[in-house]
Amino acid sequence: MAKKENKGETKKLAEKLLINRKNGFFSVTDEQIEKADKFCEGYKKFLGASKTEREAVLSTIALAEKEGFTPYDPDKSYQAGDKVYFNNRGKAVILTVFGTKGCKNGVRIAASHIDSPRLDLKPHPLYEKDDLALFKTHYYGGLKKYQWTTIPLAMHGRICRKDGSQVDICLGEKSGDPMFTVTDLLPHLGDEQMHKPMMKAIEGENLNILVGSRPIRDDEGDQIFKLNVMRLLNQEYGITEEDFVSADIEFVPAFKPCDLGFDRSMIGAYGHDDRVCAYPAVMAALTAKTPESTIITVLADREEIGSDGNTGLNSAFMRDFIADLAEKEGLVPRHVMAKSKCLSADVTAAYDPTYASMYEFNNSTFLNNGVAMSKYTGGRGKSGTSEATAELVSEIRSIFEKNDVLWQTGELGKVDAGGGGTVAMYIANLNVDVVDVGVPVLSMHAPFEVVSKLDIYMTYRGIRSFYEAK
């Protein structure tokens, strides 16, 4: 007959062998919660000032320069503890702190992206129709189109005039600024629309932004509603309609980042994906002690549409930057890459009990359970991803636990429900060991996303611990 275990022994055995799934708040101190709340005040300021990739680069450089970072000079030699940044076309940025052992044992990388789903203007956007002036848009990234109607929008971006001069626009964020919107059909007339599949109810060509309704006071003119809008833009910014051809104009939600919930434990905002990982990565670089291996924080553009283009991580800009560092030390770049390690810092899906059927509970990530680590991302059958080695996952686990970093692991929903990728596969293609870490998000890719303050702070702690690891 088998020996019967007593209750005390069973409990000890369970503590030794099984995962403890209690909420993360029971694993942290009041002091850690206070630090998380304080850390997130800085994040909210960063996020509110960084609604586009250009603005995120400017905000990052401003923070870095306050901590002694200087522009990278490829002709200069650097010593351990030196801090530099490389600005790639105003849309991507690299922060570097040189380590005591330089690049000979590889570099440590944290890579995030700073673009988010939005509405971009077409090259010829302005038109009038039936006494209204509107902008034509081309949506950017994976979004649910119906979510972008009837919300206040702000206009951000840069217009480059024919003579080469530039003007930056940010309209709809300050008190008293006008805002913009995409209209929708009233429910009284919406029966046909509401019987369509959600993907068809709002079509991309109907994401037209309402920008004016008053004409030039001359009823004999042509396109007088459009002309009045263009007159105002010319007076304010000195542009003509043709200048839209050479412009990067984005319309984004005008919402301000805010505390969410009676307990203020969460932050609601536009653009958490992926600036909620970019900010902790930046702050980890700014606050890390002089590391052994050189550390590199990369904030890239274009991730939401495949990372292609010369500011995305499916390009050569990070590879070439690391190659420059390696060659300065007399090292072979490919050998440095092979010894390097990377945290691909991107968000993942937080478990949502309202839509529980789309998640596999035991392999989900949850708000307030800390930074999430994903051995792989991708879609059905692990397509469109790299997969971290067991050895690397073990190493990161050990770093987190030695440094009291609250962490969890999980997948992005059920196996056949869909999925999504990160920049990890492009960095892995350089022969770098990579694993995904990041903040779980509710309502990902919506105009108003939700994250936990504790998870943001633990992502910062996790990246910093990775940078400082011996």
Token pair in block for residue 287: 């606050």
Q: Domain 118-253: give its CATH architecture.
A: Roll (2.30)
**Yes or no: is domain 22-116+270-468 CATH 3.40.109.10?**
no
Q: How far apart are CA 15 and CA 11, in angstroms?
A: 6
Token pair in block for residue 446: 């919506």
Token pair in block for residue 83: 């801090």
For residue 92, what pLDDT is reported? 98
Residues of the chain with CATH 3.40.630.10: 22-116+270-468
Asked whether the beta carbons of 97 and 289 are under 8 A apart, the reply is no
pLDDT tens per residue, range 407-420? 999 999 999 888 88
Asked whether the beta carbons of 244 and 215 are under 8 A apart, the reply is no
Residues of the chain with CATH 2.30.250.10: 118-253
For residue 4, what pLDDT is reported? 58
Answering whether pTM is above 0.75, one says yes
Asked whether the beta carbons of 309 and 470 are under 8 A apart, the reply is no
Spacing of C-alpha 89 from chain mean position: 18
CA dihedral 242, 248, 253, 254 (to 10 degrees): -70
Spacing of C-alpha 467 from chain mean position: 20
For residue 220, what pLDDT is reported? 75
For residue 3, what pLDDT is reported? 57
Q: What are the pLDDT tens digits along the chain (470 aa)?
A: 455 556 688 888 888 888 887 888 899 999 999 999 999 999 999 999 999 999 999 999 999 999 999 999 999 999 999 999 999 999 999 999 999 999 999 999 999 999 999 999 999 999 999 999 999 999 999 999 999 999 999 999 999 999 999 999 999 999 999 999 999 999 999 999 999 999 999 999 999 999 999 999 877 778 999 999 999 999 999 999 999 999 999 999 999 999 999 999 999 999 999 999 999 999 999 999 999 999 999 999 999 999 999 999 999 999 999 999 999 999 999 999 999 999 999 999 999 999 999 999 999 999 999 999 999 998 888 888 899 999 999 999 999 999 999 999 999 999 988 888 899 999 999 999 999 999 999 999 999 999 999 999 999 999 999 999 98
CB atoms within 10 A of CB 265: 18
For residue 2, what pLDDT is reported? 54
Asked whether the beta carbons of 281 and 110 are under 8 A apart, the reply is yes
Burial class of residue 87, CB neighbours in 10 A (0-12, 13-18, 19+): middle
